[in-house]
Amino acid sequence: MAASGELFVPNPSPLAGRGAELGVLRDAWRRTLRLRPTVVVVEGAPGIGKSALVGAFLKEAAPPLVARSYGDEAWERRPWEVLRQVVQELPGARGGELTEEADPALVARALAEDLGRVGPVVVVVDDAHWGDRASMTALRLAARSLRNEPVLLVLAHVPVDAAVTQGRSWGRAHEGLHEGWRRLIESGEGDVVRLEGLSADALLRLAPSWGQPRLSPSGAAHLHELTGGNPLHARQLLQQVAPHALAYGQGPLPAHRSMPLTLISRLGSCAPATRDLVAAGAVLGRRFLLAQARELAGLRVGDGYGGEVTGGVGWGGVVRDVGSVGVFGDGRSGGVPGGAESAGAVGGAGQTEVVGGVGLVGVFGDGRSGEAPGEAESAGVPGDVGSVEAVGGVESAGVPGGAGQAGVVGDVGSARLPGSVRPGGVPGRVESAGALGDARSAGVIGDVESARAMGDVGPAGVVGGVGAVGVGGSAGAPGMGGGVAGGGGGDVGEALDEAVRAGLLVEVPGTGGRTLAFPNGVIGDYVYSDMSPGRRRQLHRAAAEFGGPDALWHRIAADQGQNEDVALAAEREARRQLLLGNLRLAAVYAGHALELTPPGPHVRARLLTAVETLLVSGDASTARRYEGELTSLAPGPWVDYVNGYLVLLGGRIAEARGLFLRALEGVRAAGRATPVEGSPLQDHLQDHETPAPPSTTPADLEARIATQLAIIGVVQLDYQDMVFYGEAAVAAPTKEPWVRAFAWFAKTVGTALAGDAGKALRELRAVHLPGAPAGLDGLVARGMIRLWTDDLDGAHADLGSAVERATRGEPLRIGQGLGFLGEAEYRRGNLAEAVRLTASAIGDAAENGRVWDYPLLYALACYPLAAQGSWEEAARHAREATDWSQLLASPMSFAFAAGARAAIAQAAEDHEGFLDAAEAIETHYSSREPGAHLFGPVRADALSRLGRTAEAAHELAEFVARTREVDRVSAHLAVARVRAQISEAEGEPAAALASCEEALTLAKEAGLPLEGARVRLVTARQLSALGRGLAAEAALREALHTFTACGAHAYEAQTRRLAADLGLNLTGPVSALAALTPREREAVRLMRTGLSNQGIARRLGVAQKTVETHLQHAYDKLHLSRDQLRALKLDD
């Protein structure tokens, strides 16, 4: 079964999220074709999609001539390189005349003449910011001189500051476009298209065509946060990071392979203080306070590096230009710095040489790669620095804490040095990277046993500049002392300036420079992930002391073992996040609470809490890892409920129902109708210092169980259960928003499937408003019910809004919502979008282990694939739906699997296969809501195609009787079409045509283009049988137009086969019109424009009686009335 392996990847999508921008190019081309030369400048950061936008436009517009050229950094100083590429594409252009001394003004005149001569043309210059000056000048002057020539000039370029603001480096700075282009556009001759990052929703829709259909809405939200919506960055990150980590992970992601070498170079060329500031920010988060980062990095507030230095680094003791050697790492191997550029004092050690000027590789790394940068320029690499006997007590060095006379570092104060500090102020053995304790590798300060602050520097000679309390920097990182970050006590202003110039940090507008942020999440994650684990924990431990909302996360990240205090705090945070509706974060904190809990009475409750929150958040795959632990627990209502929930998502429906019923019986037997103390998820959790005693049952467990039983009623099509338990779920008391929302989902969907969709919609009428009890679950429910009740626009709006809100961070608990949005697109005729959405829905379910969704989602995905004629993929999806339905063994899963087979048989005109599938649908899905699928009276449909008219009529009558009380336009449409097929099989084309006309009216009313086009195939057969060839041909042409526009290639093929059978022509002029004389054809053409006979006579310059004669002859030859001929869809 493919759900756990390779998934179907649809064809590349059209440009997602760029509709408005594409519209600007379309409008410009329309102006151009009206002989108004136009210039469009497309600008944006590297990788933002400029070339993709231009390419999509060119593919759609299909101009007769395209002259495309590319700028390049290497060509910027080579005259005429860009223009040579342009003129090579222009027939007869004078490209050979371009010499280095050519005058741009004269070249521009010749170019304008060439462009005007070749007719409608689009000239594209990609990377115009690297275009050589001569070419760009000539192009600009030529564009200005054009007057009535059909020329569209498109320039794609990166604004001067875009590379820095995006946190990327793309070579040396460029000059940008000439100011003359702006003046040309502002004069009314063009437009500017500014491309920003794509929305998270657009990323979600693009992901399947990037080969990653498993991305979920919440994962798309995280991906957008990390990349700013840059398509190139997003695509590269998706190739590296599992979608599950994007959806459910917390904290920074692994280092990003797509980080360019130039950014690594800039990181390495920054001063140690700058690197420390960036490292501190990476630990604090993507947005952080400058004051906290400064303190964490051990930086001072001052005007420069001279003067007072915190941490005993004297004047000149700043180590700069370290590009490699495990900077910010732990230097476990290799990475011996060299290339000292200047002399200075390390730790106030007189004229000892400063280690600096290191090369490139391994910035922020841990030195494991073993690069050894170049030689020191002078021999002053410090060894055993005997002259500096004491770090403390040096007032001029600004060492915090008054050290005793023996020079022992005392009063650690605010330095937050991890590890124990021995009595008397002597630092103890600190194992964390960058600390004084036992940092043996690469010769950093280690094992401080006495008052000698810089003890026995080893052969590598790397001295980590003693900072606030003599904390040595990371091993192999010169000058990385000071503060917790290991900084050299540098000036925060200079560090900030350098970080901003390098594009590593930005100041958040409106904060007065007090709040900083990373330009995108990738930079911060790269810095964070490349620090050693020990150093990260050290920084987190220090950051926790700042307090605030992030303190708990820092405590969790800093802790290596089990800690009941932190576990209790994480448990409370999980509870808080659940109340806020942040299900993913609740699951994260509940998991940490369990991991940090020591053996004892709290493990059981926290295990159940963690598993349930994982299931609630949709992460069944992670929850399943605890299955063994759950089965070892003694039975009880809460245990039975969580076990039931887990096995339900695993597809073991009967087993789950048994566990839920036993849990419900246990709750009621125990009389647990009031809150029970001690449950981690109860609203009465008290803020006490000691944890509450473990609970056996949450207070609202009855509501939770009833909701799941209602859902089982839905999948089992047990109308009594779905209604009874749905009502009970909503009525049961709960203060948990997620419990209440899912209860409303279960109740209203069950109510609709039981035949009362009107009541369900009334109950959900305000679900889109903030604070609605049903929440996002209810919005999905309303979208599904609107889909079934033929309100396609409403369904699309609700389901699309639910997915879009999920990509903005709201939890979309109903993973099927993405699949039903795909079905809405299918019904609306947007097959390509339906394929992409259903592929994403399957991928999301597979990534997160929601087995019970598979039959439904594979079936929904099969519908558009079958219509497209993607036979191999459609068949594979149908097999998957069938195989998984055998595991679930529920009527709903059997019915959807049969629906997948029916869709393929219908599209392939396999009437026997269609009957087999139809009988399975009828057996398993005696629906009280006929709009839940479009098959309608499916068995009657199949029988009528096989000519078994008596049986078909009987089945049709039964369907009509069964659905009489539920008024669905789509069902009436299917009934009318099947009735037409029965009449056709009985040899009554006139009766069949009347039913077809009814069906076409209903298809238009319901907004079902594919269904309407399928009716036109039946219509064409009846018209042909009645001798109305022109009308039959027109019906087939209109059907073909609809199928082609929708991408329904299987039905296109059906249409062409039918036309061949009927002897009708679907290409070129309408064949039936050939029987008319030229005057008759002209009269018919003018009549179809709406002119009266008198108006036609005036236009043709003949008598009105003559026009009437011509038209009557045409009506007689074509067997059509005036109104029928006027209504036909013909290409005149």
> 254-293 in b/e burial notation, b at 16+ Cβ within 10 A?
ebbebbeeebbbbbbbbbbbbbbbbbbbbbbbbebbbebb
**Per-residue pLDDT reduced to its tens digit, 511-562:** 989 999 998 777 888 888 888 999 999 999 999 999 998 999 999 999 888 9
Residues, the chain: 1132
What is the pLDDT confidence band of residue 813, given thresholds at 50, 70 and 90? confident
What CA–CA distance (Å, rounded) separates 1031 from 1000?
15
Most distant pair of Cα atoms in the chain: their distance: 125
Q: What percent of the chain is modeled with pLDDT above 70?
A: 76
Query: Residue 355 has what pLDDT?
Result: 33
**Per-residue pLDDT reduced to its tens digit, 1065-1077:** 887 666 667 778 9
Q: How far is CA 510 from the centre of its chain?
A: 29
1103-1120 mean pLDDT? 88
Domains of the chain: 19-194 (3.40.50.300), 200-248 (no CATH), 257-529 (no CATH), 600-780 (1.25.40.10), 1071-1127 (1.10.10.10)
Which residue in 943, 963, 959 sits closest to 951, CA to CA? 943
What CA–CA distance (Å, rounded) separates 184 from 186?
6
DSSP string over 671-696: T--S--TT-TT-TT----SSPPPP-S
* CB 147, CB 35: distance < 8 Å: no
- The better pLDDT of the pair 182, 824 is held by 824
What CA–CA distance (Å, rounded) separates 896 from 917?
10
Which helix (H) or strand (E) is 621 found in, with range? Answer: helix 620-623
* CB 298, CB 310: distance < 8 Å: yes
Which residues lie closer than 8 Å to 77 by C-beta, 6 or more apart? 132
Q: What angle do CA 582, 583, 589 make, to 5 degrees?
A: 95
- The better pLDDT of the pair 910, 692 is held by 910
Query: Residue 690 has what pLDDT?
Result: 36
Which residues lie closer than 8 Å to 314 by C-beta, 6 or more apart? 344, 345, 347, 348, 349, 396, 397
Mean pLDDT check: name the lowest of 296-305, 515-524, 629-638, 798-807. 296-305
CA distances from 982 to 299, 597, 613, 1054 (A): 86, 70, 54, 20
Which residue in 651, 676, 675, 663 sits closest to 707, CA to CA? 663
The single residue listed with the structure tokens 């005058």 is 103
Which residues lie closer than 8 Å to 669 by C-beta, 6 or more apart? none
Query: Residue 369 has what pLDDT?
Result: 35
**Per-residue pLDDT reduced to its tens digit, 200-209:** 889 988 888 8
What is the pLDDT confidence band of residue 696, given thresholds at 50, 70 and 90? low
Is the pLDDT assigned to residue 1081 strictly greater than 90? no
Is the pLDDT assigned to residue 976 strictly greater than 80? yes
**Per-residue pLDDT reduced to its tens digit, 1048-1060:** 999 999 999 999 9
148-166 mean pLDDT? 78
Which helix (H) or strand (E) is 193 found in, with range? Answer: strand 190-194
What is the pLDDT confidence band of residue 973, given thresholds at 50, 70 and 90? very high
The single residue listed with the structure tokens 């000056």 is 133
**Per-residue pLDDT reduced to its tens digit, 285-310:** 989 999 999 999 999 886 543 333 33
Query: Residue 162 has what pLDDT?
Result: 60
Query: Residue 26 has what pLDDT?
Result: 93
Is the pLDDT assigned to residue 364 strictly greater than 60? no
* CB 995, CB 976: distance < 8 Å: yes
Mean pLDDT check: name the lowest of 664-673, 728-737, 760-769, 964-973. 664-673
Is the pLDDT assigned to residue 619 strictly greater than 80? yes
> 90-99 in b/e burial notation, b at 16+ Cβ within 10 A?
beebebeebe
- The better pLDDT of the pair 233, 713 is held by 713
921 residue type, one letter: I
- The better pLDDT of the pair 830, 361 is held by 830
- The better pLDDT of the pair 238, 1109 is held by 1109
Is the pLDDT assigned to residue 1091 strictly greater than 70? yes
Most trustworthy range by pLDDT among 514-528, 689-703, 945-959, 1079-1093: 945-959
As given in the structure block, the two tokens for residue 109 are 């005149």
Is the pLDDT assigned to residue 998 strictly greater than 70? yes
Is the pLDDT assigned to residue 645 strictly greater than 60? yes
Query: Residue 469 has what pLDDT?
Result: 33
Query: Residue 9 has what pLDDT?
Result: 52
Q: Is 313 left (phi over 0), alpha (psi -120 to 50) or beta?
A: beta
Is the pLDDT assigned to residue 1129 strictly greater than 70? no
Q: Is 508 left (phi over 0), alpha (psi -120 to 50) or beta?
A: beta
743-767 mean pLDDT? 94
DSSP string over 25-45: HHHHHHHHHTT--EEEEEE--
Residue 892, helix vs strand vs coil: helix
Which residue in 444, 450, 456 sits closest to 319, CA to CA? 444
Query: Residue 978 has what pLDDT?
Result: 98
Mean pLDDT check: name the lowest of 57-71, 921-935, 1067-1081. 1067-1081
Query: Residue 389 has what pLDDT?
Result: 32
Query: Residue 897 has what pLDDT?
Result: 97
- Positive or negative, the CA dihedral 1048, 1054, 1057, 1063 is negative
Query: Residue 559 has what pLDDT?
Result: 87
38-58 mean pLDDT? 91
CA distances from 230 to 10, 224, 240, 502 (A): 21, 8, 16, 20
Mean pLDDT check: name the lowest of 35-49, 176-190, 1015-1029. 176-190
Question: Burial of 87 by CB count in 10 Å (0-12 exposed, 13-18 middle, 19+ buried)?
Answer: buried
What is the pLDDT confidence band of residue 315, given thresholds at 50, 70 and 90? very low
Query: Residue 245 has what pLDDT?
Result: 80
Instruction: Read off φ and ψ for residue 621, nearest 5 degrees.
Output: -65, -40
Query: Residue 773 has what pLDDT?
Result: 86
Query: Residue 592 has what pLDDT?
Result: 94
Instruction: Read off φ and ψ for residue 534, nearest 5 degrees.
Output: -65, -40
- The better pLDDT of the pair 667, 682 is held by 667
> What is residue 120's DSSP assignment?
S
Is the pLDDT assigned to residue 327 strictly greater than 50? no
Is the pLDDT assigned to residue 254 strictly greater than 80? no
- The better pLDDT of the pair 1120, 777 is held by 777
778-794 mean pLDDT? 96
604-612 mean pLDDT? 95
The single residue listed with the structure tokens 């963690």 is 610
Mean pLDDT check: name the lowest of 471-485, 486-500, 701-715, 778-792. 471-485
> 913-928 in b/e burial notation, b at 16+ Cβ within 10 A?
bbbebbbbbbebbebb
What is the pLDDT confidence band of residue 70, given thresholds at 50, 70 and 90? confident
What's the count of helices (H) and strands (E) in the chain, helices before strands?
48, 8
As given in the structure block, the two tokens for residue 453 are 């602050």
Please give the model's pTM, rounded to 2 decimal places: 0.69
For the beta carbon of residue 762, count every other beta carbon within 10 angstroms.
11
Mean pLDDT check: name the lowest of 118-122, 193-197, 373-377. 373-377
Q: Give the count of alpha carbons within 13 A of 561, CB side only.
A: 3
Mean pLDDT of the chain: 79
304-321 mean pLDDT? 33
Q: Do strands 121-126 and 66-70 pair parallel, antiparallel, or not at all (unpaired)? A: parallel
697-725 mean pLDDT? 92
The single residue listed with the structure tokens 């074709």 is 33
Which helix (H) or strand (E) is 980 found in, with range? Answer: helix 969-985
Which residues lie closer than 8 Å to 815 by C-beta, 6 or more apart? 216, 618, 841, 844, 845, 848, 850, 853
What CA–CA distance (Å, rounded) separates 470 from 464?
9
> What is residue 622's DSSP assignment?
H
Mean pLDDT check: name the lowest of 60-64, 335-339, 596-600, 1064-1068. 335-339
814-826 mean pLDDT? 92
What CA–CA distance (Å, rounded) separates 310 from 466?
9
Query: Residue 10 has what pLDDT?
Result: 58
